[in-house]
A and B are shown apart, each in its own frame.
Chain A
Amino acid sequence: MIITVASGKGGTGKTMVAVNLALVAASQRPGVQAASGDAKMLSRYDTRPLLLDCDVEAPNVHLFLRPTITGQEEVVLPVPEINFERCTFCVRCAEACRYNALAVVREQVLLFSELCHGCGTCSLVCPEGAVREVPEVIGLIEEGAASTPLADLDFAHGVLEVGRAIAPPVIRQLKRRIRSDGLVIIDASPGTSCPVVEALKGADFALLVTEPTPFGLHDLRLMVEVAREVGASGRTPLPVGVVVNRDGIGDEKVDEYCQSERIPILMRIPFDRRIAEVYSEGGLVIEALPEYRDQFRELYQRIREEVNK
């Protein structure tokens, strides 16, 4: 099962929800619960949940999980390199590039590699065979495992290089780590465009975190639209559920909206200054404030029910 945690608006608590949800899910696996005394040893024989941080522009999960990184992999994009012995400056490559990454000025071909999507069209259209594609590093993938007193998790994240524009290739490469069995929880970036779509593709459930304010509602509506579009294009529809974070700070309009759209509100996290404090230090809510443990367990349970509906 793949659960993607998303929100149109930033800062609603995606990462906090994703990390704590992943940990309660990990602690609840049958093997782990049965052997409460020796949970960690047993868990090595099971598939541990995988938490993927797909917010490659601003990845933050590692700040809370403090994982041990055991593997690294560069993300490269094939960008054009012009062989000027063959190039006739016919301009076809620049005309074909939809991303304006190539320009021909007199006897020169200029490459704006930060705009390149690595599609390879330029080399396809060059009649002289003068365009060769060479790999350029645009990001990094790191993977490893996190061990907390509550449970163990597998972890991986992508880091887009500063100054680079195109995040989806990093997300795509990161998502190759998804195994068909076991639980995968994905922390998406804010927004509603390509990186979010990339993070939502193939998910079994979209968990949308919002706050009860006009900004939260406005962006939740957009996010529901995105989830529906992604679901409609995939092989199976994408069910959605909502977490209302900082419940009580604003108005009732998120509730009214969810009711009218028949979207289940699966959890309400009250506005609690202690959560903000734990979060600010990179702490785990379910560890520092155990009273929230059951609520996250219930959230996980309700997601499973929604997926199996």
Chain B
Amino acid sequence: MSDTATPPTPAGPKAIVLAHGNVADALVAAVDLITGRGDRFSPLSNQNLGAAEIDALLRERVDALGARVIFTDLPAGSCNFAACRLLKDRPGLIVVTGVNLPALLQFATRDTASDADAVAAAVERGGSALRVLTGRPSGH
């Protein structure tokens, strides 16, 4: 297949991933590595920032991108509180916490859904991906 025949990346929901340390960068890099769709996400870190500074950084990024979805890592973390604080004056915004790679992969590759549908699918995929595997798989 020639380059000109490569289908363009479909325009899907744009989301921000806000997490501790380098988690957001790493997750988005992994999404890009696996799907080539890392540009669906804008990674942000709370590193070395106080609560007010995290709020300001996130607000600025949401406004700049027109983002409608924010993924955060920890329910009781400063990232999640900053994201939820934005819900007050942005009625259409959706915040998802407890993000993991399977959730972001699902979100990145869901092309036709609304934000709410894409988020629901991501939550289902991310939640079900967390499982315990022990012993020999049956049938082997």
Chains A and B belong together in one complex: no
